[in-house]
Amino acid sequence: MSGYDFRAPRLYVEAPLGQGASVALDRAQAHYLTRVLRLKSGGRVLAFNGHDGEWDAAIDIQKRAVCLRVGVRTRAQTEPGDLHYLFAPLKTARLDYMAQKAVEMGASLLQPVLTRHGQVTRLNTARVRANCIEAAEQCGILNLPEIAEPAALFRALAARATERWLIFCDEDAEVADPLAALAEVPLRSPRALLIGPEGGFAEDERTALLKLPNVVRLALGPRILRADTAAVAALALVQSVLGDWTARTDDRSGSSQ
C-alpha cells in the first residue's frame, strides 16, 4: 500500500461519493470528528462507502449539522475478494475481535451458523457490522463484507454453491499438515472457510460435511485453539496459500482443475 495516507482519519458513509458532493453526517460521526478528534471546519477526512473508492473530504461544521464536502478521489474502488467465512457465534467481546480480524483478512461474507454444540444462539448483526466498519476505517480497507443472518449449519451448507470449495477446521483431520491439505484446492476457485464452535462439531455434522463435494478438512496444529484464535490462524493460512497473499500462477490453477 505504497503512498497510502495513514495520518488522515477515515470515515465510512452510506451516501454516494463524488467530487463536489455534500454528505451529511449522523450524530455519532459528527461527535467523533468534532469532539473526539477535535477537528475544525476545513479539517481533512478520507471518506469511503464500499462502492465509489476513497475520497478526500473537508469537514463543514454548521450550527445544527456537520457535513463533508467531497473533493478529489484518492483511491479507486478495489475489487472485492471471494472468501466466505462461516462461523459459530461467540460471546460478545470475542465476536467483536473475530469480526474485525475477518475483515482485515479479506473475508467477503460473514455467515453465522448455528451448530449442535454452539454456546451462543443469538447474534446482533448490527454490532457485527459496526465492528466491520471500524476495522475497515482503521486499516484502509475499501470493501465491506456482506453480513448474513444466522442460519442452521445444514441450511447454510444446502445454500452453498457446489463449485465453492469448503474448508472446515477439524481437530480430527487425517492430514496434519495444513499446507498439504490446502494443496487440493484450485487457486482460482471460490472458497468458504468454516470454523465450528469450541465444543467441536457433532458427529452427524462432521459426517454431513465429509459427504459434500469439494470439501477439505484443515488441521491447525498440535494445540487446541479458541475459536477466535482459530479464525485468525485459518484465514491467514487460506489467504497465504490460496488467496491474495500469494501470486496466482496459471500452472497450479490449471493442473488442479
By percentage, how much of the chain surpasses pLDDT 70? 95
* Predicted pLDDT at 222: 84
Using an 8 Å Cβ cutoff, are 81 and 44 in contact?
Answer: no
Grid cell of 218 as nine digits: 484443515
The 3 state secondary structure assigned to the chain is CCCCCCCCCEEECCCCCCCCCEEECCHHHHHHHHHHCCCCCCCEEEEECCCCCEEEEEEEECCCCEEEEEEEEEECCCCCCCEEEEECCCCHHHHHHHHHHHHHCCCCEEEEEECCCCCCCCCCHHHHHHHHHHHHHHHCCCCCCEECCCEEHHHHHHHCCCCCEEEEECCCCCCCCHHHHHCCCCCCCCEEEEECCCCCCCHHHHHHHHHCCCEEEECCCCCCCCHHHHHHHHHHHHHHHCCCCCCCCHHHHHHHC
pTM (2 d.p.): 0.89
Give residue-wise pLDDT tens across range 152-191. 999 999 999 999 999 999 888 888 899 999 999 998 889 9
107 vs 144: CA distance, rounded Å = 9
Residue limits of CATH 2.40.240.20 in the chain:
10-75
Q: How confident is the model at residue 145 (pLDDT cuts 50, 70, 90)?
A: very high
CATH of domain 10-75: 2.40.240.20
Q: Where in the chain is the domain with CATH 3.40.1280.10?
A: 83-256
Give the residue among 122, 89, 110, 10 at the shortest CA–CA distance from 55.
10
Whether 196 has a pLDDT exceeding 50, the answer reads yes
**CA gap 17, 31 in Å, rounded:** 21
Q: Any idea what the Cα angle at residue 40 is, between residues 35 and 41, rounded to 5°?
A: 130
Hey, what amino acid is at 83? Answer: L
For domain 83-256, give the CATH number: 3.40.1280.10
Q: Look up residue 2 and give its three cell numbers.
A: 505504497
